[in-house]
Amino acid sequence: MKPAPFEYIRAESVLQAQEWLAADPEARVIAGGQTLMPMLAMRLVRPTRVIDIAGIAGLDEIAVTAELVTFGAMVRQVTVERSAAVAQALPLLAKAIRYVGHPPTRRRGTIGGSVANADPAAEIALVAVTLGAEVLTTADGFSARDFFLAPMTTALPAGAMVTGLRFPRVTAARRGTGFAEVAMRQGDYAMAAAACELVLGAGGEVASLRIGIGGATPVPVLLDLAEPTREAIAAALAPLEMMHDPNAGAGYRRRAALALAMQALDEAQREVMA
């Protein structure tokens, strides 16, 4: 299981990477490589050139401001997992990141790589869609909802690359989050996953409720919800297309999505009450 031959080159700047990508449509970016390497080894992708962006200054930084949390594409998942600032500013991402693969893959895997790969079961993409994040690229910025088009397919224009992921920051005092997923084994691709952020107003009323579903659907989906009830979630799930594979059919995924959404919501509610 060895890759087909390619040329390995290191980009020193985003501009340089962008030029190389524009010059060669068969070139691929490697960030952490945790998904690209198996695809190379199985010869499912056969790039002419592999452009390493790990050496680009600044791409591995996390910037937290009053309104925004911005991750460079090369921020390792483990950095997110260990970041006190992320835990404080984006508790939902901090929870979800622990479900991404296994500890060794999180040490190499990156935020940008996960986003660009667009696996339907990816937790980072699910949180991005749930919280209304913006995918930063060398072309335009995309709202996460518009970026993921289909399994392993994004709106990224040819020749462009993902440079980061930017989340709006909620500073409300009364916020609860929840994350739940089911996989064949812990750490496997989720058959269904749910992420929830619940914000209460000063009077205890629901100021904002976001529940996103991943794993079950071809791309992560932010549910359109009027109220935090099982009926409302079920109704929001009803029109969604569910995936199926030898492990789990669409019916299971739909039921699991509902159950997990309820779990995530329950966790968020308990947290906000605490």
4 near other proteins, rule: CB under 8 A: yes
Q: Is residue 24 involved in binding other proteins (CB under 8 A)?
A: no
57 binds other proteins (CB under 8 A): no
Determine what percent of the chain falls in helix, strand and coil, rounding each to the nearest 5.
35, 25, 40
CA atoms of 131 and 122, how far apart (whole Å): 15
Among 16, 24, 54, 271, indicate the residue that binds other proteins (CB under 8 A).
54
List 16, 20, 24, 37, residue binding other proteins (CB under 8 A): 37
Question: Which residues, in sequence order, are bridge partners of residue 176?
Answer: 198
Structure tokens at 205: 């009323």
Nearer to other proteins, 78 or 219 (CB): 78
Q: Which is nearer to other proteins, 31 or 165 (CB)?
A: 31
- Using CA atoms in the order 40, 42, 48, 54, what is the torsion angle rounded to 10 degrees? 0
Identify which range of 118-126, 128-136, 166-174, 250-258 contacts other proteins by CB under 8 A: 250-258
Quote the least distance from Cβ 106 to other proteins, whole Å: 9
Q: For other proteins, which stretch binds (CB under 8 A), given 35-43, 60-68, 113-121, 210-218?
A: 35-43
The answer to whether 105 contacts other proteins (rule: CB under 8 A) is: yes
Nearer to other proteins, 72 or 142 (CB): 72
Give the nearest distance from C-beta 197 to other proteins in angstroms. Answer: 22
Question: For residues 52 and 68, which CB has a smaller minimum distance to other proteins in the complex?
Answer: 52
Reported in sequence order, the residue ranges of the chain that DSSP labels E, i.e. its strands, are 7-10, 28-30, 49-52, 62-64, 68-72, 134-137, 142-143, 148-150, 153-154, 162-168, 175-183, 190-200, 206-214, 221-222
Out of 141, 168, 204, 249, point to the residue binding other proteins (CB under 8 A). Answer: 249
**Nearest distance from C-beta of residue 264 to other proteins, angstroms:** 13
With contacts defined by CB under 8 A, name the span among 5-13, 89-97, 159-167, 197-205 that binds other proteins: 5-13
Q: Are 193 and 180 in contact (CB under 8 A)?
A: yes
Give the residue, chosen from 15, 22, 23, 42, that forms a contact with other proteins under the rule CB under 8 A: 42
Q: Which of 143, 153, 208, 247 binds other proteins (CB under 8 A)?
A: 247
* Site residue total, other proteins (CB under 8 A): 47
H-only helix segments in 90-122? 91-97, 103-108, 111-117
**Which position among 13, 152, 259, 269 is part of the footprint of other proteins (CB under 8 A)?**
259
Beta strands in 114-174 (DSSP E): 134-137, 142-143, 148-150, 153-154, 162-168
Q: Other C-beta atoms within 10 Å of 164: how many?
A: 24
Give the closest residue to 111 by CA, choosing from 67, 63, 150: 63
